Structure 1
Amino acid sequence: MPPAVKEEGKAAKLALMKQMLYDKVRETGREDDLFTQEDLLALDVIPNRDMVLLAETVQALSDDKLFVTMREAGGSFSWKWRDAQEAHKYKQCTTEEQSMVYSLIDDSGGDGLWSQTLQRRLNMHDTVLKNALKQLQTKGLIVPFKNVEHPNKKMFIKASIQPSDRATGGPWYTDQNLDEAFIEELQRVVFDFIKRQSSYISRHGHDSRTQKMPKKGVIKGEDRGKKRAASEMEEPAPKAAKTTAISTPRKDVLLPLPAGFTGYPTVKDIARLLSSSGITNNTILTEMDVKKLVDVLVWDNLIEPIRVGGKTGYRVSRVAKQSTQGWAGREDGVDGNPEPYISPYTEAPCGRCPVFELCEDGGPVGPSNCEYYAKWLGEEEEARQ
């Protein structure tokens, strides 16, 4: 057989073995699974467990960037497969420096990588690194981006993926800036929803013993028989000598729900409300994002968690002290502004005084000379003024 024909047959066999082994590895393992030499032979692709053919096949797959070679601590080798589209991107790296830089940025995922971290890990000269980064950007393989955790660092990420929530700040950031107005508006909506679901309105109404209004504009009492002017018809009648007692109508108040109530809203309920309300403006909020909003309200002592029926719900902390008006619906935030729960035992400095055991009249520390107590009462500011 002519040598040229023999070489063609060998190349065709190698190409077949390469495709069969690659397909088999993809079927049996995930992209991050490692395969040892024995694992590859156990796939029954290489005939007669031919070690030479296995080595040639693995090398061909590595040259095509379809296999990634991993060296273990003991010196042995293993391999993991790479998606064909990703392999094509690696083949665009024309130098070893570009391949190394792109590989590290690829491994960093959605968090990206700092240029100085690249330089430190690769021990690469600054000029060489900058040139590799420039070439990778020109080829559309990587892009620079801003990380909210490190706004002053020059970060790079793969062009084909989106930065992680950790890098961008998630839904709470807009153009790498904390969107405080968006957060506050969501907190208002969440608080109002929890307030509605964890309380009911007691409507007192007017007392039945009300004063009768005069008929036909005639004043009763001392000026009996005297007609009232048209301009006075809408005004209350003058106080009569003998009138029935008038009770001032009481305002509607919020009252807590009875013990054993199981309908307190959960994080899932709140997430469903925000999703259906349209207030998020196409921003997708996960239950973990909503949990962060709820936690802030808990830390601010506006709401409290309650465990009922095997799940955690939330209710407002001071139901009877809250306004019946909606906090989210008012721009001035007066009537509906929530009232947090503040305990005098924890707010007073005595409740967390580091020298409480030494405090006594006439001692080194006492109520009369306590700097913490004076600051709490505002006397310190008054003395300065």
Structure 2
Amino acid sequence: MAPATAARASAARDEGSDPEAAKLAVWKQALYDRVRETRRENDLFTQEDLTDLGVIPNKDKGLLLQVIQALSNDKLFVTFREASGQVCWKWRDEQEAHKYKQCANDEQAMVYSLVDDAGGDGVWSQTLQRRLNMNDTVLKNALKQLQIKGLIAPFKNVEHPNKKMYIKASIQPSDRATGGPWYTDQNFDEAFIEDLQKVIYDFIKKQSSYVSRHAAAGHDSSRTKVPKKGVLKGGESARGKKRDASEMADAPTSKAANKKSTASTPARTSATPVLLPLPAGYTKYPTVREIARLLSDSGVTNNTVLSGADVQKLVDVLVWDNLVEPVKVAGKIGYRVSRIAKQSAEGWAGRDDPTGREGGPAAYISAYTETPCGRCPVFDICEDGGPVGPSNCIYFTEWLGID
């Protein structure tokens, strides 16, 4: 049984000798249960809303106000006043209500209430003092007592690293407060992000290209295969039969031919693999969901949980760097590497490089997109005699460095 429920049951037993108090306890429980079944925790109820629930007999307003006051005393109802002046109430969970009842005085209750309202973002101690207009000593004592009771806890907010922030001890700080998966111990983890981008890039490259060795090496005539001369030796069944075409041997070369070839022909190297683009109509370019699944299965995230939105941000950075590009695949957005034939067949991840870019992929830079016209924000209205035109283009003036 929850602490708040046990306390209310004990109170009901104590009130058993008073019939009116016992009836009030029953109506209080009935109204609270009905409110929880009807609306979400953040919904507000007016007096008319509570009356229409049909719990209070004969819609007795006097009795309703007594029940509301009893629920407020137990911290199960929170009172609000709208801009119009109308009073409303919001129900509170029993466990949360029990925490409010642990506050020894009004100062602690007010401080805890503001920390509670701040949620996962937390609240600055100076904000508490300003909003409550509370003496500094009283505020510090209230914060200390609430920490001792395990109701609130101090924490660091990456947006305000030098401010002393407080949050409810029972909840986790929001991504906004902690920086999400991109921060480690309140520090921006640039190395972690770069490692993830390398893995993502290599995965997209593997899924959006194929490796060709023939295209790099060409045809090597020195390794031409020819049928062996002669006939098979053996018994009567094999005698006179020519060798099968599958029995191939290197073409014979004389010492003189070898010497001449060495003098006139440069030494050949082994085939170097190159990447080639996939044909039009290919539909298996990886999506963000597939990339997220790869990161989760690979263990490269170091037990950090990445949402689809987090992975999308990583992919977007690669897009903005002109390393990958989106492509529509069967109604979904997939990704492929830009200028795949210009990229190395070697993986980007795992290279020993402190800069993170040495030997990495080459970004695609178009001369057209580098000029103002290629990224003009007013391209649709640019024309001779119009509000913007080639003769008075301020973007070209800035780009060319003309005063």
Q: TM-score range by the shorter chain?
A: 0.7 to 0.9
Aligned residue for 2:219?
A: 207
Distance, in Å, in 2 between the alignment partners of 1:311 and 1:351 is 27
Deviations 1:94-119 (A, max 9, x none): 22121111111101110001111122
8 Å contact from structure 1 (residues 266, 313) kept in 2: yes
Distance, in Å, in 1 between the alignment partners of 2:29 and 2:16 is 20
Distance, in Å, in 2 between the alignment partners of 1:335 and 1:113 is 43
**TM-score under structure 1 length normalisation:** 0.80
Q: Indicate which of 57, 61, 68 corresponds to 2:67.
A: 57
Aligned residue for 2:241?
A: none
* Equivalent pairs, count: 345
Q: Which runs of 5+ in 1 are unaligned?
A: 223-236, 373-385
1:344 maps onto 2:367 in alignment: yes
What amino acid sits opposite 1:256 in the alignment?
A: P
Aligned residue for 1:328?
A: 349
**TM-score under structure 2 length normalisation:** 0.77
Aligned residue for 1:114?
A: 124
Aligned residue for 1:380?
A: none
8 Å contact from structure 2 (residues 325, 338) kept in 1: yes
Distance, in Å, in 1 between the alignment partners of 2:375 and 2:53 is 67
Q: Shift in Å at residue 329 of structure 1?
A: 3.4
Aligned residue for 1:306?
A: 327
Query: Percent sequence identity over matched residues?
Result: 68
**Cα 1:88–1:5, aligned 2, differ >3 Å: closer, same or farther?**
closer
Aligned residue for 1:28?
A: 38
Distance, in Å, in 2 between the alignment partners of 1:135 and 1:365 is 61
1:157 maps onto 2:167 in alignment: yes
**Cα 1:352–1:150, aligned 2, differ >3 Å: closer, same or farther?**
same
**Cα 1:103–1:279, aligned 2, differ >3 Å: closer, same or farther?**
same
1:270 maps onto 2:285 in alignment: no
Aligned residue for 2:202?
A: 192
Aligned residue for 2:383?
A: none
**Cα 1:7–1:77, aligned 2, differ >3 Å: closer, same or farther?**
farther
Deviations 1:222-253 (A, max 9, x none): 9xxxxxxxxxxxxxx75558888976655221
Q: Shift in Å at residue 346 of structure 1?
A: 4.6
Q: Shift in Å at residue 331 of structure 1?
A: 2.4
**Cα 1:56–1:7, aligned 2, differ >3 Å: closer, same or farther?**
farther
Q: CA RMSD in A?
A: 3.3
Aligned residue for 1:47?
A: 57
Aligned residue for 2:337?
A: 316
User: Secondary structure of 2:365's partner?
Assistant: coil
Distance, in Å, in 1 between the alignment partners of 2:371 and 2:301 is 39
Q: Indicate which of 216, 220, 239 corresponds to 2:255.
A: 220
8 Å contact from structure 1 (residues 326, 336) kept in 2: no
**Cα 1:206–1:286, aligned 2, differ >3 Å: closer, same or farther?**
same
Distance, in Å, in 2 between the alignment partners of 1:335 and 1:161 is 43
Aligned residue for 1:381?
A: none
What amino acid sits opposite 1:331 in the alignment?
A: D
Q: Shift in Å at residue 155 of structure 1?
A: 0.6
8 Å contact from structure 1 (residues 220, 240) kept in 2: no
1:143 maps onto 2:164 in alignment: no
Aligned residue for 1:279?
A: 300
Distance, in Å, in 2 between the alignment partners of 1:96 and 1:201 is 72
**Cα 1:81–1:219, aligned 2, differ >3 Å: closer, same or farther?**
same
What amino acid sits opposite 2:204 in the alignment?
A: I
User: Secondary structure of 2:221's partner?
Assistant: coil
What amino acid sits opposite 1:10 in the alignment?
A: E
User: Secondary structure of 1:34's partner?
Assistant: coil
User: Secondary structure of 1:210's partner?
Assistant: helix
Aligned residue for 1:383?
A: none
Distance, in Å, in 2 between the alignment partners of 1:141 and 1:100 is 13
Distance, in Å, in 1 between the alignment partners of 2:291 and 2:372 is 36
Distance, in Å, in 2 between the alignment partners of 1:272 and 1:365 is 45
User: Secondary structure of 2:165's partner?
Assistant: strand
Distance, in Å, in 2 between the alignment partners of 1:68 and 1:176 is 35
